[in-house]
Structure 1
């Protein structure tokens, strides 16, 4: 349903003209300088523009996001009506309005700025403001309240309203004062439960012991807020970690460090179990814990890896929070192969294959050896296929084949024997997966070409690998057989 204020502007030219000048909300300029979309995938509709090339968007159906032509974007209101009230009553020329002003001082600041606007280009400003407010049926709430609403909106830009350049997938900038602090978001539940545990709330301890994700947050909170009398609280957490053995060991090791640092003989059996026999006595427990603390479990929260928080956010179901942090990190990452690899895997883990492919493409460009190029190229192919760009996936597989010497000069010594190793199976598997995907979309040319390469690979890799891929290769061949023959 169209917002009532927006509908009025679109149907009443006199209101639209006044909104456009002097209040710089021009519904005739409902377009942006480049293609953009929200990282969250929510709806985005340009509804107006200003005289600087900036654009007002309806973001997520109701909220209003403003994007400048210079690459900045910020949420300004929860509705078009609120955005217009801000534009009309706290217009852009009121640069002297700040949050530390009370209502009287804010009104005085607006009057002073209005005087300059009247003198320079808007002599009938008061009449235009009154007519537009009345015509749109907008309230005249206190300026302090209105300013607080806009500040609140700006602080809620992330995670749901992060704007991306659609071509390059880079995020629009947001002032640091409005940026989300992921660490505080994901540590919030753990900190709250830890406070309750320290106050003697037995229910809080039971909640933490029963919920592995909450327990992870409590342990991280305890890691960066050490108390000498926390040992009785930490033991049950370590016991809970030891009771459920999963592929995740990070929290178990952290809990063991926090307990071992207290150096109590009675904890040695539990610590021996938690560390698979690495700890056998009290002195060894303290030495081990101090070494682990120095290596990866320090007390300075400012030095903690951002991936701790993105992983915890993902486990808590805060996928958009994790996505924003990872995209911001990727935007700021230079030619750092280790960081790009971690970003690629983390973005793939939350299901953002487009951003993962962006990181992986940059990672691939940094590889020096044929073996590494082949390894990273098949990963890029997987990501491109999953994001839906089958042609790009095909190009990535071409780079993988070139790296191992298929259809070109022989590979270097570092990749010799690739076909007998897991690398050969993985590259072949991606060819078969891409063949199926191309067949499903009706791209006969790509399906036939990729299956042809797949057949060569199946005859090249080890027999056991080819046998393991037999069900997939059979499906791929049947899919290709159902397609029309490619044009000569």
Structure 2
């Protein structure tokens, strides 16, 4: 359904002209300086422009987002009508607006700014404002309420309205005071549960027993807001984590370690057996427990671990179902990451876990460019292929696999591609390729199986997408790889290979 106010502006040239000047909402400039989209995948429609190259967008058919030409974007209103109210009654030339002002204070600021506007460029401002408000049927809200609506909208920019450059996938910036702290978002349930447990609420413990995600947030809340009286409840949480490990829930090792660290920091002799079990025997006495806890905390949560904490909050957000919150945090981290291989690898894996293959591929592409050995290039290239395939760019996946084959030497010359180079740089690789020696015997190890598996998966994806040429080319490489890698690896891939073979056979002969 079309927004009523937007429809009026599109069908009433007189109103559109007033909105464009002097209020700088020009529906004839409904385009942006570059291609953009929302990280959340919600719909995005340019509806107007301003005289600085900025653009107003309709998000999800209702909310209005403004993107500047210098890389900032924020939500401004929940509807086009509300956005026009703000622009007309709190116009851009009012630079002294503040949420600390009362109604009369805001009116004084607007009057003063309007006086200057009349002298400089809008002598008929009062008549223009009245005509536009009347023509659009806008309400007469108190300025305090209108400013509060505007600021509340801006604070809701993240996570659902994060704007991305569609080519580079970098995020538009948002002024720091309006950004949500992910730590506060994900710790809120844990803090509430912690306070209930501290007060002796039996229902809180029952909830923690039943919900390992809540328990994770509770433990992190206890780490951030410690009390000497928390030891009994921390012991109970550690026992719950140990019980989970005994039941086979090995994926949450981090929480067990955190609970042990918190209990160990108290240095109580009675806790040593519990801590010994939690740390696989690392702790044997109370003094050792304190030393271990301090060392672990310094390593995991010390002053140099702020970036590590961001991964913790992003992972916890994902587990809580707050996928968009996690996505925003990880994209912002990626935008701020330089040539740091370890951080890029972690970002790539974290983004893949939340299902954002495009951003994961961006991180992985940058990671691949930093590798300086054949083994590392091959290892990161096959991961890039998996991510490119996941985001639907099959051609890019094919290029990534080409880089993997080149790294192991199988695409060089006319050799067999066994990659047994000596690393001397004198033609020890396949077909005379100078190898650095780091991929010797790659075909007999897991790397060969992984690279081959990605070729077969890409073959199937290409068939499904109707790209016969890519499917046939990739299958030809797959056959060569299957004849090169160890027999046990080829056997493990037999079912996948058979499916790929039949899929390509179903395409018929080339040219038919």
Q: TM-score, normalised by structure 2?
A: 0.93
Rounded Cα–Cα distance in structure 1 between residues aligned with 2:508 and 2:167: 33
Rounded Cα–Cα distance in structure 2 between residues aligned with 1:296 and 1:12: 61
- Give 1:102 deviation, angstroms: 1.1
- Residue of structure 2 equivalent to 1:386: 390
- Give 1:233 deviation, angstroms: 1.1
Rounded Cα–Cα distance in structure 1 between residues aligned with 2:201 and 2:301: 27
Rounded Cα–Cα distance in structure 1 between residues aligned with 2:128 and 2:506: 68
Q: What are the within-5 Å matches in structure 2 for residues 435-454 of structure 1?
A: 435-454=459-478
- Residue of structure 2 equivalent to 1:282: 286
Matched, 1:395 2:382: no
Q: What are the within-5 Å matches in structure 2 for residues 36-435 of structure 1?
A: 36-245=36-245, 246=249, 247-298=251-302, 305-408=309-412, 409=433, 411-435=435-459
Q: TM-score, normalised by structure 1?
A: 0.98
Q: Secondary structure at the match of 2:65?
A: strand
- Residue of structure 1 equivalent to 2:482: 458
- Bigger drift between 315-324 and 239-248 goes to 239-248
Rounded Cα–Cα distance in structure 1 between residues aligned with 2:106 and 2:347: 45
Matched, 1:482 2:506: yes
Please list the CA deviations of residues 116-166 of structure 1 after superposition, one character each: whole Å capped at 9, or x if unmatched: 111111111111111111111111111111111101111110000000000
User: Would you say the 8 A contact 1:257–1:292 is kept in 2?
Assistant: yes
- Residue of structure 2 equivalent to 1:23: 23
- Give 1:30 deviation, angstroms: 1.1
- Bigger drift between 451-460 and 300-309 goes to 300-309
Rounded Cα–Cα distance in structure 1 between residues aligned with 2:69 and 2:227: 50
- Give 1:297 deviation, angstroms: 4.3
- Give 1:304 deviation, angstroms: 5.4
Q: Secondary structure at the match of 1:25?
A: coil
Rounded Cα–Cα distance in structure 2 between residues aligned with 1:91 and 1:174: 20
Rounded Cα–Cα distance in structure 1 between residues aligned with 2:464 and 2:260: 50
Q: Secondary structure at the match of 2:471?
A: helix
- Give 1:202 deviation, angstroms: 2.0
Residues 206 and 276 from structure 1, CA distance in 2 versus in 1: closer, same or farther, beyond 3 angstroms? same
Q: Secondary structure at the match of 1:206?
A: helix
- Give 1:200 deviation, angstroms: 2.0
Rounded Cα–Cα distance in structure 1 between residues aligned with 2:134 and 2:306: 51
Please list the CA deviations of residues 220-240 of structure 1 after superposition, one character each: whole Å capped at 9, or x if unmatched: 011111111111111111111
User: Would you say the 8 A contact 1:271–1:279 is kept in 2?
Assistant: yes
Q: Secondary structure at the match of 2:172?
A: coil
User: Would you say the 8 A contact 1:209–1:236 is kept in 2?
Assistant: no
- Give 1:301 deviation, angstroms: 8.9
Gaps of 5+ in 2: 413-432
User: Would you say the 8 A contact 2:16–2:27 is kept in 1?
Assistant: yes
Q: Secondary structure at the match of 2:252?
A: coil
Rounded Cα–Cα distance in structure 2 between residues aligned with 1:52 and 1:288: 58
Stretches of 4+ moved more than 4 A in 1?
297-304
Rounded Cα–Cα distance in structure 2 between residues aligned with 1:450 and 1:465: 18
Rounded Cα–Cα distance in structure 2 between residues aligned with 1:157 and 1:49: 19
User: Would you say the 8 A contact 2:63–2:75 is kept in 1?
Assistant: yes
- Bigger drift between 6-15 and 342-351 goes to 6-15
Rounded Cα–Cα distance in structure 2 between residues aligned with 1:155 and 1:84: 19
Q: Secondary structure at the match of 1:296?
A: helix
- Give 1:303 deviation, angstroms: 7.0
User: Would you say the 8 A contact 2:299–2:305 is kept in 1?
Assistant: no
Rounded Cα–Cα distance in structure 1 between residues aligned with 2:155 and 2:148: 11
Rounded Cα–Cα distance in structure 2 between residues aligned with 1:156 and 1:459: 56
- Give 1:463 deviation, angstroms: 0.2
Rounded Cα–Cα distance in structure 1 between residues aligned with 2:304 and 2:204: 26
Rounded Cα–Cα distance in structure 2 between residues aligned with 1:263 and 1:349: 37
